[in-house]
C-alpha cells in the first residue's frame, strides 16, 4: 500500500528525531493499536524500545500468553510481563461505578509504568497506541461544551510527575489505517484483524462489582462466543464482538434441577472507527445455537441476551 508505505517511512523518521539515543517504554495492552505502535517503534529504534505488558487480570482467555510469545519470541522485542493482577483486582474490589473503575485502572497503569520505567536506564519516553478517535472523543463534542463521555485511560497525556514524554505515532490514524500499517509492517493477518480491545479490559464488560469468579465465567463465555463467530465465518464482517457478564442472577432449569446463575449479554457491532456503530444482524439460528453452546459449555451462565443497541444512543462497551 503506497500511502501506508510512505506513512511508515515518515513515522520512523519522526520517531528517530524525537527520541534520539534515549530509551522508550511502550505499554502493550494486547490490542492491535499498541502492538502496531510497538512494532513500528521497534523498527525505528530497535532495542532502545522495551515493552511493558501490564497484565491487569482483566484480559481475555489465553491473551497474556499470546502477546508474550508474539513479542518476545517472534519479534525479539525486549518485553517485561508485569503480572499485576492482584494489585488491580484488589483496588477494584467492591467498586461498581464505571468512571471510578476507569480512574482506578488508569492511575494504576501509570503507577505500574512508573515502577518499570524507573528500572530502565535513560527511559525518557512512553509510547502509546492512541488513535485519532481517542483524541477527539476524549476532548469534546465538536462545537459544544467540553464533555467527556468516558475517560479513556490511555489518553489525555501523562501526569507531570512521571517525567516521561509521549510518543504517539498513531495519533493521526483511524482504525482501518492502523490495520493497513500493521499489514505494511508484516504483522500476521490474524493478529491485525483482531477486534479492538479496550485498555480497561474486562472491567468494563463486567458492569457492577468485579469479582474473580465473574471474570473467569466471562473469559470462558467470551471464548465460546468468539469461537462461534469464527466457525460461522462472521469474524471479519463484525467490527467488534464480545460478551459481557450482567450484574444479576436469574433462575433457570437444567436436567432435574433449578439453576440460579449469571446472565450474559452478547454484543456485536459494525463500525468504521468506533465512533458510531450498528448492532450486527445475526440470524436467529446463530443466536439460538450460540446461547445453547454457552449455557452448555460455561458453568455459571444460564441465560443469554443479545444487545441490539446501536451507537448512539448506546456505547459499544457496556460501561
Binds ligand XMP by CB under 6 A, chosen from 169, 199, 207, 300: 199
Q: Select the span of 163-171, 184-192, 196-204, 206-214 touching ligand XMP (CB under 6 A).
A: 196-204
* 229 is an interface residue for ligand XMP by CB under 6 A: no
Binds ligand XMP by CB under 6 A, chosen from 274, 282, 298, 304: 274
* 311 is an interface residue for ligand XMP by CB under 6 A: yes
Residue 255 is classified by DSSP as: T
* 27 is an interface residue for ligand XMP by CB under 6 A: no
Q: How far is the CB of 264 from ligand XMP (least distance, A)?
A: 18
Q: Do residues 163 and 118 touch, judged by C-beta distance below 8 A? A: no
Angstrom distance (rounded) from CA 134 to CA 63: 23
Q: How far is the CB of 200 from ligand XMP (least distance, A)?
A: 5
Three cell numbers written together for 18: 524525537
The binding track of 135-174 with respect to ligand XMP, each residue x by CB under 6 A or -, is ---------------x-xxx--------------------
Q: Is 190 annotated as a binding residue?
A: no
Angstrom distance (rounded) from CA 108 to CA 88: 7
How many other C-beta atoms lie within 10 A of the C-beta of residue 193? 14
Considering beta carbons, is residue 222 or 317 the nearer one to ligand XMP? Answer: 317
Residue 316 is classified by DSSP as: S
Paired with 242 in beta bridges are 267
The owner of cell 468506533 is 274
Angstrom distance (rounded) from CA 149 to CA 125: 28
Give the residues lining the site for ligand XMP (CB under 6 A): 102, 150, 152-154, 196, 198-200, 240, 274, 311, 315-317
Amino acid at each position: 500500500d503506497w500511502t501506508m508505505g510512505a506513512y511508515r517511512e515518515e513515522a520512523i523518521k519522526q520517531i528517530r528525531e524525537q527520541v534520539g539515543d534515549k530509551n522508550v517504554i511502550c505499554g502493550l495492552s494486547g490490542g492491535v493499536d499498541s502492538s502496531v505502535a510497538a512494532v513500528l517503534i521497534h523498527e525505528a529504534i530497535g532495542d532502545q524500545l522495551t515493552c511493558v505488558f501490564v497484565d491487569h487480570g482483566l484480559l481475555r482467555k489465553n491473551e497474556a500468553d499470546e502477546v508474550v510469545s508474539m513479542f518476545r519470541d517472534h519479534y525479539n522485542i525486549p518485553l517485561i510481563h508485569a503480572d499485576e493482577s492482584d494489585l488491580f483486582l484488589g483496588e477494584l474490589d467492591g467498586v461498581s461505578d464505571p468512571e471510578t473503575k476507569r480512574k482506578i485502572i488508569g492511575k494504576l497503569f501509570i503507577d505500574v509504568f512508573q515502577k518499570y520505567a524507573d528500572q530502565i536506564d535513560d527511559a525518557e519516553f512512553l509510547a502509546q497506541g492512541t488513535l485519532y478517535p481517542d483524541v477527539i472523543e476524549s476532548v469534546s463534542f465538536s462545537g459544544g461544551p467540553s464533555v467527556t463521555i468516558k475517560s479513556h485511560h490511555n489518553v489525555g497525556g501523562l501526569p507531570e510527575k512521571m517525567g516521561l514524554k509521549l510518543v504517539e505515532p498513531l495519533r493521526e490514524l483511524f482504525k482501518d489505517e492502523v490495520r493497513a500499517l500493521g499489514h505494511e509492517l508484516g504483522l500476521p493477518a490474524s493478529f491485525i484483524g483482531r477486534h479492538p480491545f479496550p485498555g480497561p479490559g474486562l472491567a468494563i464488560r463486567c458492569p457492577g462489582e468485579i469479582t474473580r469468579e465473574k471474570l473467569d465465567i466471562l473469559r470462558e463465555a467470551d471464548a465460546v462466543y468468539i469461537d462461534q463467530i469464527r466457525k460461522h465465518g462472521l469474524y471479519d464482517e463484525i467490527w467488534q464482538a464480545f460478551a459481557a457478564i450482567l450484574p444479576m442472577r436469574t433462575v433457570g432449569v437444567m436436567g432435574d434441577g433449578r439453576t440460579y446463575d449469571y446472565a450474559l449479554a452478547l454484543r456485536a457491532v459494525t463500525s468504521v472507527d468506533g465512533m458510531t456503530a450498528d448492532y450486527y444482524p445475526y440470524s436467529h439460528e446463530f443466536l439460538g445455537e450460540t446461547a445453547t453452546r454457552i449455557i452448555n459449555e460455561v458453568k455459571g451462565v444460564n441465560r443469554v441476551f443479545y444487545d441490539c443497541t446501536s451507537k448512539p444512543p448506546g456505547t459499544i462497551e457496556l460501561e
